[in-house]
């Protein structure tokens, strides 16, 4: 479902016309809820950067939200995955920033940067896998969510639209229930089928009596 199709469906079902800004708000609020309820491939991103010798800080990507993993890569190309800790752990474990070595730990220092421990002794390549918000269907026109699971996006947007209209509670409740059913199916896909394969887990079997 494209964005044009999505907003046409919202207005048809609600039997109402909304401004472009209001429609964008309904959809983006729905996207935000979905992105924080389930995890699917479009939310994952990879970026390679580098440390600076004798500098304990590493700039975070502008769209960084949460980490999946961080690894430093030495001169031979070998990966060493860092353990995520709090800033207070880094400060306690490596109290002297002038003491350098290959980093073993990292922590989110502020919204723009990470702190590494110990302070890097040379320049290392760093590979960061992290979660981010993909471009909204409002601006992209098409997205993974719209292409592969538009029911969650449509029903979530309808809930937001009906609340804006101060719709009847039973109507809001009905679409909220439909949204939650769509979200449950999406969660089964993303947190279930995408996290296993038949070789390791075998084919899913429904219990019968």
* pLDDT (tens digit per residue) in 156-205: 999 999 999 998 899 889 999 999 999 988 888 777 666 666 666 666 65
List 127's β-bridge partners, or say none.
Answer: 48, 71
Confidence category of residue 39, pLDDT binned at 50, 70, 90: confident
> Any idea where the domains of the chain sit in the sequence?
3-41+135-195, 52-123
Q: Residues 45-85: pLDDT tens digits?
A: 999 999 999 999 999 999 999 999 999 999 899 999 999 99
Judged against a pLDDT cut of 60, whether residue 137 lies above it is answered with yes
Q: What is the Cα–Cα distance from 45 to 147, expressed in whole angstroms?
A: 19
Q: Which residues of the chain form beta strands (DSSP E)? A: 44-50, 57-59, 66-73, 79-81, 83-84, 100-101, 105-110, 113-117, 119-120, 125-131
- Cα separation, 72 vs 82, in Å, equals 7
Confidence of residue 147 (pLDDT cuts 50, 70, 90): very high
Altogether, the residues listed in the chain come to a count of: 209
Q: Name the pLDDT band for 98 (thresholds 50, 70, 90).
A: very high
**Measured distance CA(130)–CA(176) in Å, rounded:** 30
% the chain with pLDDT above 70:
91
Which whole number is the average pLDDT over 116-135? 96
What integer pLDDT is reported at residue 193 of this predicted model? 65
d(CA 30, CA 182): 12
What is the C-alpha separation between 206 and 200, in angstroms, rounded? Answer: 18
Which residues lie across from 16 on neighbouring strands? none
Task: Return d(Cα 163, Cα 159) in angstroms, integer.
Answer: 6
Residue 40 has what pLDDT? Answer: 85
């Amino acid at each position: 479902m494209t964005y044009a199709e999505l907003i046409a469906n919202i207005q048809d079902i609600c039997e109402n016309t909304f401004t472009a800004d209001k429609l964008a708000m309904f959809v983006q609020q729905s996207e935000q809820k979905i992105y924080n309820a389930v995890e699917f491939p479009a939310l994952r991103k990879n970026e390679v950067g580098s440390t600076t010798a004798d500098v304990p800080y590493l700039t975070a990507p502008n769209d960084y939200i949460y980490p999946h993993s961080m690894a430093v890569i030495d001169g031979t190309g070998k990966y060493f995955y860092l353990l995520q800790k709090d800033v207070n752990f880094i400060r306690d474990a490596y109290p002297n920033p002038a003491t350098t070595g290959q980093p073993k730990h990292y922590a989110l220092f502020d919204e723009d940067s990470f702190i590494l421990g110990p302070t890097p002794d040379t320049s290392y390549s760093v590979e960061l896998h992290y979660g981010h918000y993909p471009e909204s269907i409002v601006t992209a026109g098409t997205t993974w969510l719209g292409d592969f699971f538009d029911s969650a996006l449509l029903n979530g947007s309808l809930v937001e639209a009906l609340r804006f209209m101060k719709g009847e509670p039973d109507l809001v409740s009905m679409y909220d229930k439909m949204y939650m059913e769509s979200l449950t199916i999406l969660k089964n896909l993303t947190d279930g089928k995408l996290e296993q394969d038949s070789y390791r887990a075998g084919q899913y079997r429904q219990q019968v009596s």
